[in-house]
Every structure is written in structure tokens, then in C-alpha cells.
Structure 1
Amino acid sequence: MSTPARKRLMRDFKRLQHDPPAGISGAPQDNNIMLWNAVIFGPDDTPWDGGPVNNMGLEMLSSMFGGLGAGSLAVPNRSNEPPEQLYATQLSQLQEMGFFDTQENIRALIATSGNVHAAVERLLGNSGQ
């Protein structure tokens, strides 16, 4: 099914592949043009060089709206904390939902930047493989 939104996203994706703006990369997740991952790096010689210094505000905003759509804002976390500690809250949420394989849960949370909804989708898609 080809909708105007899908056509627009496909056109933008092709343009992003052929002429990407400096410091910006993005691509659809898996085979879903409606769900994207993007990385935006800050300008050189600024505190934001190479990515966000502290993305707590963005994570809070993302978690507020995470249940309203299929995706979320995915910002790479540059924390030195081990993933078990970094994603402790999300891990307990996944375990409460019946996902008990901690290592698989951590892999899903890392891949989705801690988005529980996206991690569940990923875990369900990976089950049986």
C-alpha cells in the first residue's frame, strides 16, 4: 500500500542516501519505512561534538510520548554505566511482562536505546529464531 506519507519518506530516504547533510544519518528500521533511526552529531569544537553530552531531557520527552506512536527518538547513550544498571528500570518492566532472558532483553534495549515498546517488538520478532 502506497500512501503519500510513505512516498514522501521514501523520497526523503533516497535524498538522504545520495546527499546527506553533514553530521546527520538516518534510515528506516528493518523493512518499515514508517519507523526510523537517526543520529545527529553536534558541530565540531562544541560541547555537542560527536553527539549529545547529556540526553536525559530527550529521554524524558521520548518516554512521555513513547506509547503514542510506533517509534521513539533514538539517541545513542554515551554513559559509562553497564547496561544492566543503565536500563535497570526497563529490564524490570520487561521481566514483569514475561521476558525473563536478561541478556536478550539487554540486547533489545541497547538496540532500541532503552525504548521498552520497541524492545518488546524486537523481542517478539526475534522469538523462535
Structure 2
Amino acid sequence: MRFTATPRGARLARRLVSHYLHEWGHPYNSPANDTAALIAAELAANAVRHGRVPGRDFRLRLVIDTVATTIRIEVSDTRTERMPTLTTPAPDAEAGRGLVLVAALATHWGTTPRPSAPGKTVWAEIGPCPDR
């Protein structure tokens, strides 16, 4: 799925992840749906805030492995020079907790370069899913 690199695009990405997971057997308000939607929201928000290149969209890919019962969320942007780093924000900081949440909720997460386009992909996996 492709979205505009705006707050509205990030919000739509989160909602569509939740919708697709519901359609694919992970109901709204289930642990897997809630966790995946939160991770998607954080990754999409980071793509908009830190990976935005004017005139370029970000992409979200959602993959369910029914055998391993895992969900993989991938968010790609076109900004190569700004790689995400996991840091602990100051207690009074107003931002900087997105990747901390992703790392806490995901089974695995990381970054990969985009082989066919400029930029990077930040991905996270959760699973095995508790509602399966």
C-alpha cells in the first residue's frame, strides 16, 4: 500500500492495517490486531516525520505467515541518510519513544536498504500471534 507522507497518510496506514488484519482473522481489539496497528502507526509516523522527501510517498507492506503465525509490517521511505536508531529519551522529552515502543512490542525489528529504489525499509514482526 502506498500513502502520502503526511500525518493523514500515517493515520490511514494504521487504520488499514487494523482493517486488513480483522478481515484476515485477527479481530479488532485482539492482541495481534492492537499490537500490529500500534507498530504500523509508529513506523508510519517515523516515515512521515523523519523519512519524508517532498513529493515522495511511503509504502507499507503487511505480510501474514499462517504457518508460523507471524505478522510482518514493513514501512519504506525514500530517505537513505536518516537511519533509525534506538535511543532512550529523557524522561521529560516530548518525542523519541516510537522505536522504543516498536522494540518492546515486536518479536524482531530492523532496517534494510531498498534494493530497487532509494531509501530504506523499517520492519517489525510479531508472533506467534496470541489469537491463533
TM-score (norm 1): 0.29
TM-score (norm 2): 0.28
Larger radius of gyration: 1
Structure with the largest fraction of strand = 2
Which has the bigger relative contact order, CA under 8 A and spacing at least 6?
2
Structure with the largest fraction of helix = 1
